[in-house]
Structure 1
Amino acid sequence: MQLLERDIPLTSAEISQLWVTYMNDSAAICHLEHELNIVEDNEIKSILQYVLKVSQSHINSVVEIFNKENHPIPHGFKLSEDVDVTAPRLFTDKYYLNTLNQLGKIGLNNYSLAVSLVAREDIYHFFSTCLNESDKIIKWTNDVLLSKGLYVRPPQLPKAESFDYVTKQSFLTGYFGERRPLTATEIAHLYANFQRNALGSATMMGYSQVAKDKDVVQYFIKGKEIAQKHCAIFESYLKENDLPSPMMLDSEVTDSTIYTFSDKKMTFYSSTLTAVSLGYYGTGMSMSPRRDLGVMYSRLMAEVAKFADNGAKLMIKHGWMEAPPQAADRDELTNN
């Protein structure tokens, strides 16, 4: 007898991916509702409207699935608690467009992982749809960035006359003596990580201006300093090979100090971006044969991991960290 879909319980992987989606999209809705109130560029406004519609549909789908499974709905983030949609502009339209582009790329990574982890047909269909939506967001924002002359293309390389093989062990070195030029893959990751940190620096700067708690303000200031430091490191490797680096985005932050987002929502969003950067750094390290680059990424990952740990401690201290779904504590059940 074939089991009906409703008779197949959700796996831990499916529950976790649905939970993360709910948390991320409920936080994104707070941003999007505020941005739609003040965005001036109609092309960017159209993308914001689409992304808001997508995030709201994700929330509705997760709630429907969890209700059918009698699974508790996360609290997440609420418009009534975590944002003042009438607050003055904190970032420019250019920042919004670049953020939407990066969110599409993050969504592509997250949902491709989810698709690889889930099996139940309705859950697979949901995340497959999410994956296609992220692809659309990336393509749409790329087109608008290009049309406005804001798309920053990675460096171009001279055309190779033929393929070649590596014949010297020096291809892997990088600590002493003459270092070989960067490979195209190494350049791509250095460039992309610079762009993500440039956006992170602007985000932390803006958040530090409107945060209320002193500890939270200092956390964002530290995050801005780390992002700027990492940009300088990535830029130094590019300059060493006479390659250009992207522009910083700190000028896209306004001088507003008016309450815009709750400290809880901003800290959660920053922690999420920090966790994502660890994954990107790990990928950059695995794709960089030159040993000095591997050591560099390892060192930066340790710094980012410490910053993420401080963010988690900050959220626990203020009672902001919502516990994700967990396995049963058998020792506690036995004692009770």
Structure 2
Amino acid sequence: MKKEHNVELSAAELANLWGQYQNDTLSVCTIKHFLANIEDKEIKKILEYALELSNKHIQFLHKLFSDEKMVIPQGFTDDDVVAQAPRLFTDGFYLIYIQNMGKIGMDIYSLALANSARLDVSKYFTECLYSSAELYNRASSVMLDKGIMMRAPQIPKSKKVEFVQKQSFLTGWFNRRRPINALEISHIYFNLLRNILGEALLTGYSQVAKLEEVRKYLIRGRDIASKHVEIFNSVMSEELLPSPSTWITPPTDSTVAPFSDKLMLYQVTSLNGIGIGHYGASLGASMRRDLASHYTRILTEIAQYSEDGINIMIDQGWLEKPPHSVDRNHLAKD
């Protein structure tokens, strides 16, 4: 006879499920506005698929939280979006934004799956991982068809196996730099694309933010993203490698907010956290010292920027507290 028992959710599973609820409710709000302004029929299909995925995730999470007798997070609601507000971004931006959602989803869900022990949760994150890959592939296919897919530069193929002979392989100062390798190019190009998209997003959001403190914060983020683009472009230029265009998806001139300041600020701080993780991975993969120095400085800057954004959210009462452990010392005092 099969023994039945309830397996409690682990802290890792709780963290990933709670975080996904926040992100999916935010995605529903943003995609609703995009769909209300979309003109391109092919891109519209991608947006509809992304909205369908987020709604399915929310439905699953609602049931899971209810079954576990957990408080359902607030996340983001219709109060955080004005679907019929004038468009703030172009159709091309929508497509690149959704493709990036697929990239982020693959990163997040692969880590969530690796940290899940309960079978229903691991099965769910497996499905999320597959659907994120499908979303990315669909968006990429349309981008290729429209000729707006940005690809990393090509380099000559290796003709023989070689081994590093000298420690100068690690140096990166003055005129002693070796040519940049394929792995380093991959990370630089990926970070370039993220910051180009981030600069466009922050530019648009800074035009419509209502609170002056939030608006100044978004302008500061726009300038940081622009500076990071310059840093990565300079590396590519020194290597005589092509860089992607920095303004292929500029925002419109609208100053009417389609989203609440709370939603925009939460999204920016979330992307900051993801960016810190990507920069950390890039630092670990870069063996040339000048590149490592760039990533170290950038990491410090973005970490401080992220903390400042979280402080604004706390001051405004917008930061929803995630599941947390018990304060045993406090209980002992009581």
What TM-score, normalized to structure 1? 0.97
1:167-316 to structure 2, matched below 5 A, reads 167-249=165-247, 251-316=249-314
Q: Structure 1 residues 177, 3: CA separation in 2 closer, same or farther (over 3 Å shift)?
A: farther
Deviations 1:43-85 (A, max 9, x none): 1100100100100111111111111111111000001x10100
Kept in 1, the 8 Å contact 2:93–2:249? The answer is no
* 1:50 paired residue number: 49
Deviations 1:214-262 (A, max 9, x none): 0000000000000000000000000000001111137520000012100
Deviations 1:179-214 (A, max 9, x none): 101001101110110000000000000000110000
- Distance in 1 (alpha carbons) for counterparts of 2:186 and 2:160: 21
Structure 2: gaps of 5 or more residues: none
Kept in 1, the 8 Å contact 2:113–2:125? The answer is yes
* 1:4 paired residue number: 4
* 1:130 paired residue number: 128
1:99-138 to structure 2, matched below 5 A, reads 99-138=97-136
**What letter is aligned with 1:72?**
V
**What letter is aligned with 2:175?**
G
- Distance in 1 (alpha carbons) for counterparts of 2:174 and 2:84: 56
1:78-93 to structure 2, matched below 5 A, reads 78-79=77-78, 81-93=79-91
- Distance in 2 (alpha carbons) for counterparts of 1:3 and 1:118: 21
Deviation at 1:331, TM superposition (A): 1.5
- Distance in 2 (alpha carbons) for counterparts of 1:208 and 1:61: 34
**What letter is aligned with 1:170?**
S
* 1:74 paired residue number: 73
- Distance in 1 (alpha carbons) for counterparts of 2:169 and 2:57: 47
Deviations 1:144-163 (A, max 9, x none): 10000000111000122212
Deviation at 1:176, TM superposition (A): 3.5
Q: 1:333 aligns with which of 325, 331, 334?
A: 331
- Distance in 2 (alpha carbons) for counterparts of 1:274 and 1:250: 22
Deviations 1:128-158 (A, max 9, x none): 0000000001111111100000001110001
**What letter is aligned with 2:294?**
M
- Distance in 2 (alpha carbons) for counterparts of 1:215 and 1:158: 49
Deviation at 1:175, TM superposition (A): 2.0
Q: How many residues align?
A: 334
* 1:65 paired residue number: 64
Runs of at least 4 residues of structure 1 off by over 6 A?
A: none
**What letter is aligned with 1:271?**
T
What TM-score, normalized to structure 2? 0.98
1:130-169 to structure 2, matched below 5 A, reads 130-169=128-167
Give the secondary structure class of the aligned counterpart of 2:220.
Answer: helix
Deviation at 1:303, TM superposition (A): 0.2
Deviation at 1:332, TM superposition (A): 1.5
Kept in 2, the 8 Å contact 1:23–1:76? The answer is yes
Kept in 1, the 8 Å contact 2:89–2:252? The answer is yes
- Distance in 1 (alpha carbons) for counterparts of 2:247 and 2:332: 54
Q: Provide the aligned C-alpha RMSD in A.
A: 1.1
Kept in 2, the 8 Å contact 1:201–1:250? The answer is no
Kept in 1, the 8 Å contact 2:92–2:249? The answer is no
- Distance in 2 (alpha carbons) for counterparts of 1:178 and 1:269: 41
Structure 1: gaps of 5 or more residues: none
Kept in 2, the 8 Å contact 1:171–1:180? The answer is yes
- Distance in 2 (alpha carbons) for counterparts of 1:168 and 1:95: 45
- Distance in 1 (alpha carbons) for counterparts of 2:174 and 2:90: 44
- Distance in 1 (alpha carbons) for counterparts of 2:155 and 2:21: 42
Deviation at 1:3, TM superposition (A): 5.0
Deviations 1:238-288 (A, max 9, x none): 000000111113752000001210000000000011111111111111111
Kept in 2, the 8 Å contact 1:94–1:252? The answer is no
**What letter is aligned with 1:260?**
P
